Amino acid sequence: MIVEEVKAQAEPRRFTPKDDMPVEYRKAATRMLEFHANSEIMGAYLERPFIRRAPSLERKMAFSAKTQDEIGHGQMLYRAAESLGIKTREEMLDDLANGDGKFLNCFHYPMESYAETPMIAFFVDGAAMRRQATLKKSSWEPYAHAMDKICFEEGMHVKHGESILRELMSGSKREQEMVQDAFEEWWPRILQFFGPTDDQSTHHDFAAEVGLKVSSNDELRNSFLNRYMEKAKHYGLEIPDEPRIRERDDGTYDVVEDDLDWDEFFTVSQNEYDGSIEQITGRAQAQEAVQWVRSMMDNPTSTPNRSAQAAD
């Protein structure tokens, strides 16, 4: 009854933890929030090595702050998901470490070169801003409220990434070539950030009908292109020939989505990509290394597991 009521409204009602909600809504909201929280955590793990590898103290401090922010975002979202009563935070973290938790396609791929960091810190975070700004209108109130803080901090992350991109593209020819190579490798992955095309999206229809999300994957992808195509060109990046980008008569852009490797995307999304295993294993090892801390917090009189400490 409540789902039908929500669907019938032009602007779906907002839900809070005190409201009566059907299990169908709770499950859909939990899946969406858990996916988002997992992605924040895995994004932090992807960039964490650059706290040490960044070329200056200023950059090291920026990566440190950014990583801390992303972990904080994940924890906020786990709590917002937990309040739906379907899964606990601990269950979601365990699923992530065990390879059962899903997260964004971009965070399955390794990032090895400093020249790659703007691909995440500028383009992927810029894409995230396009999506997250719309989620301020989500019908699950704890999600919408979390977006206020997250979007503010993500805006700073985009500025951080843009600063790195500007610096590298103003540097030596070798630095410019390295960034261009990274851009060509990451560009298709960035365009797939928003998920499968609308006709292949499994969860969009229900989420849109009950107001959990307000924009489709294709709408968000095109919005990102209209903003970031010109930004890429402004900094001297050449847009790759594949996937093909079409410019409409009104000056806006869209992508020939058949040019994107959707088979790889769905392999990645099921955690079956080789890189996924490596990323998940790293997360599992990190979780195991600090298990003794959680155990001591739960039971301060217990004896610490020294073997777990040694794994750190």
CB 261 within 8 A of CB 251: no
* Domain-embedded: residue 287: no
* Domain-embedded: residue 278: no
pLDDT at residue 301 greater than cutoff 90 = no
pLDDT at 12: 59
Full DSSP string of 241-280: SSS-EEEPTTS-EEE-GGGS-HHHHHHHHTT-SHHHHHHH
179-207 pLDDT, tens digit each: 999 999 999 999 999 998 888 887 778 88
pLDDT at 277: 59
User: Phi/psi of residue 42, each to 5°?
Assistant: -70, -30
Query: The CATH number of the domain where 166 resides is what?
Result: 1.20.1260.10
pLDDT at residue 294 greater than cutoff 80 = no
Count the domains in the chain: 1
pTM, two decimal places: 0.85
Q: Report the first-to-last Cα separation within the chain, whole angstroms.
A: 50
Angstrom CA distances, 132 to 128, 154, 194, 212, 294, stand at: 6, 9, 11, 12, 31
Domain containing residue 62: 2-272
pLDDT at 5: 41
Angstrom CA distances, 70 to 224, 288, 303, stand at: 21, 20, 32
> Chain-centre distance of CA 94, in angstroms?
19
On the question of a cis peptide bond just before residue 240, with omega within 30 degrees of 0, the verdict is no
Half-sphere exposure of 87 (CA within 13 A, CB side): 21
* Domain-embedded: residue 305: no
51-110 pLDDT, tens digit each: 999 999 999 999 999 999 999 999 999 999 999 999 999 999 989 988 899 999 999 999
* Domain-embedded: residue 133: yes
* Domain-embedded: residue 58: yes
H-type alpha helices, the chain: 2-8, 23-47, 50-53, 57-82, 89-98, 117-118, 125-134, 141-169, 173-191, 204-209, 217-234, 262-269, 274-289, 291-298, 306-310
* Domain-embedded: residue 73: yes
For the ranges 156-165, 214-223, 300-309, the lowest mean pLDDT is seen at 300-309
How large a percentage of the chain has pLDDT more than 90?
Answer: 66
241-272 pLDDT, tens digit each: 999 999 888 888 999 989 999 999 999 888 77
CA distance 63 to 57: 10
For the ranges 20-24, 99-103, 226-230, 288-292, the lowest mean pLDDT is seen at 288-292
The pLDDT-based confidence of 282 (bands split at 50, 70, 90) is low
Query: How large is the average pLDDT for residues 217-227?
Result: 93
pLDDT at 2: 38
pLDDT at residue 306 greater than cutoff 60 = no
> Across all residues in the chain, what is the average pLDDT?
87
* Domain-embedded: residue 281: no
User: Phi/psi of residue 254, each to 5°?
Assistant: -145, 165
